[in-house]
Structure 1
Amino acid sequence: MMLLLAAASVVAFVLLLYMVSPLISPKPLALPGAHVVVTGGSSGIGKCVAIECYKQGAFITLIARNEDKLLQTKKEIEKYSVNDKQVVLCISVDVSKDYGNVENVLKQAQEKLGPVDMLVNCAGTSVTGKFEDLEMNTFERLMAVNYLGSVYPTRAVIATMKERRMGRIVFVSSQAGQLGLFGYTAYSPTKFALRGLAEALQMEVKPYNIYVTVAYPPDTDTPGFAEESKTKPLETKLISETSSVCQADQVARVIVKDAIQGNFNSSIGSDGYMLALLTSGMSPVTSITEGLQQVVGMGIFRIIGLFYLGSFDSIVRRCMIEREKHPSTTDKTE
């Protein structure tokens, strides 16, 4: 009897999704001629996202703090032009400090290249360390850069997108924004915050044909990742080694594809797929297939996830026991 009820529930869910699918399946965004703004665009994932969009015919506004890096990146991107009309505009500004300044520079960008069709919030930074070892200003700085650094540019373009009844907003979170891990007590909350912002914002702007994407990249081979690795606690390093490091261009291709399609979640690799299903909760779906995968796969992946968590806890306990045996031993990240 219980099995029949469960089967009936699944069938009813499929029918419901079929009925509402026209309401949840967005029309893909055409990138040729579109104006794409990328924050944190001078290196790493941001630079690769800009290159990927430029390859597809978009006009690009790059935003970052370091003007020299921006100009160097501009030259790299321009090598991938598909027509002589494309433009790469560079703006040097800190997107996490002064909203008025961010609003002004984005207004200037829109005056030069037209309304923003897609905003990709890639600006971010990471600091690892045990909770009690981190300076209090680290928590404040990471929240400013990783969270407010996405809020400010988004706020600056959202009104125009609503007027035009079209647009894409991308928030680049992290797998550490789906799962809190040892050493990321300052970083993870800022990436979790982006998910909350994205879910609430998506509900507000969906009637205006604006779609929000949250990307959850794994460890990615970028200058920021290399810098972070220098100070990782041993536990964090050992946990990170349980999964492979992705290339920035691979991550960028997935993010751009998902943003164009209007997918709410963007994940990379098998671990990313599992985490996306496990943490789907009340997040929006953009296809019948996605909804069914979440319903069917969540229980199975929860079992697998418990094994991962057990492995991580084991790593932390072993490191703690080793330190207690050898109190003079300091953390080694080599």
Structure 2
Amino acid sequence: MQLIVDPIVALAIFVAFILVIYVFSPLITPRTLKIDRGHVIITGGSSGIGKAFAIEAVKRGANVTVLARNKERLKQCKVEIEKHLKYPDTQKVLTFSVDVAKDYDTLAQAVKEAIEEAGPCDLLLNSAGFAIAKAFEDTDLEEFKRLLDINYLGAVATTKAVLPYMKERKQGRLVFVSSQAGQLGVYGYTGYCASKFALRGFAEALQMEVKPYNVYITLSFPPDTDTPGFQTENISKPRETHLISESSGLFQPEYVANAIFNDALLGRFLSYIGVDGMMLANLTCGFSPVTSMMEGVKQVASMGLFRVISFFYLGSFDRIIKKCMEEKNSTGTERQ
């Protein structure tokens, strides 16, 4: 005998199931962080996403501290940020020249001085980073180490310097700028992908430790963004990487920074940009923290469909790589 389920009954069962999960789930949705007259600390904030984030922060009324290596760029950055102050008479924009990947003592002292002058840190944005796009055999071991030092260990060091202050206040947001290359492996990014994937493991483990202190983490996966670093990266980027990356498009740093800012204030763990970003976030969510029941339902409902769609993307990438290899072989440029 064929069993026919009324669509309305099926929908009612589904809604009831979601309500049961919602009522009995231990999920805690964080309160929206108030940033007006707060304090935002940013690494790598002298250009790109970091600088755009700093400008967005002062527009929203926050004091801002920018940590970066280049002193001249920091001076120019400070002037540009101060043009957007919401409270020109009281807001502060501080800058410190420090290498977050090499000198922890100087970094910790800079954070201490910034907090003493601009107030407790409400939000830390770890955006210091860079990319090297080369085939694996063309990437030196020293380049692998440098990528890990800056993209991963730099974020770890800055977080270690800031977190004790947040735990003491039982409030704060930690934001890590990963990349869509921190969600899937991409040709030419063996070193870069590894350094950005590392951020995810760190962020997931740390969120378990800091959640009882009302500190929430946002892990951002921006697509290609039109920054000075991106232009430099393009110099050595293999053709395969160029063609694969084109599928996600190119975004402006202001748009990306605004999206990350909103997600961080809401306490969302996964932050993404665009439809491709949503697909990757849902596909790779795994056992990541959930701070919104609606987000969790979306992940469950869409994962199967997105996995099917991913087959077409992967097939397209394979065809790109094969075609490039055939072209290299035909012109005699393939590595012997």
1:104, distance to aligned residue in structure 2 (A): 1.4
1:19, distance to aligned residue in structure 2 (A): 3.5
Is 1:322 aligned to 2:300, yes or no? no
Q: What is the match of residue 229 of structure 1?
A: 234
For the residues of structure 1 that align with 2:152 and 2:292, how far apart are their CA atoms? 28
Cα contact 2:130–2:150 (8 A) shared by 1: yes
Is 1:109 aligned to 2:114, yes or no? yes
Cα contact 1:168–1:259 (8 A) shared by 2: yes
Cα contact 2:49–2:227 (8 A) shared by 1: yes
Which amino acid in the other structure matches residue 323 of structure 2? Answer: R
Which of the residues 46, 50, 55 maps onto 1:46? 50
For the residues of structure 1 that align with 2:85 and 2:74, how far apart are their CA atoms? 17
RMSD: 1.9
Aligned residues: 328
Q: What is the match of residue 133 of structure 1?
A: 138
Q: Secondary structure at the match of 1:151?
A: helix
Q: What is the match of residue 70 of structure 2?
A: 66
Cα contact 1:18–1:288 (8 A) shared by 2: no
Q: What is the match of residue 80 of structure 2?
A: 76
4+ residue stretches of structure 1 with deviation over 3 A?
1-4, 6-14, 18-21
Q: What is the match of residue 267 of structure 1?
A: 272
Cα contact 2:325–2:334 (8 A) shared by 1: no
1:36, distance to aligned residue in structure 2 (A): 0.3
Q: What is the match of residue 118 of structure 1?
A: 123
Q: Secondary structure at the match of 2:96?
A: strand
CA 1:196–1:10: 2 relative to 1, 3 Å:
farther
Is 1:25 aligned to 2:29, yes or no? yes
1:289, distance to aligned residue in structure 2 (A): 0.8
1:260-319 deviation per Cα after TM superposition (whole angstroms, max 9, x unaligned): 000001100111011110111001111111000000000000011111011001100111
1:109, distance to aligned residue in structure 2 (A): 1.0
Q: Secondary structure at the match of 2:190?
A: coil
TM-score using structure 1 length: 0.94
Is 1:303 aligned to 2:281, yes or no? no
Structure 1 stretches of 5 or more lacking a match? none
Q: What is the match of residue 203 of structure 1?
A: 208
Q: What is the match of residue 195 of structure 2?
A: 190
1:89-113 deviation per Cα after TM superposition (whole angstroms, max 9, x unaligned): 0000000112222111111111111
Q: Secondary structure at the match of 2:287?
A: coil
Q: Secondary structure at the match of 1:33?
A: coil
Is 1:36 aligned to 2:47, yes or no? no
TM-score using structure 2 length: 0.94
Which amino acid in the other structure matches residue 285 of structure 1? Answer: V
Cα contact 1:14–1:288 (8 A) shared by 2: no
Structure 2 stretches of 5 or more lacking a match? none
Is 1:174 aligned to 2:179, yes or no? yes
1:15, distance to aligned residue in structure 2 (A): 1.7
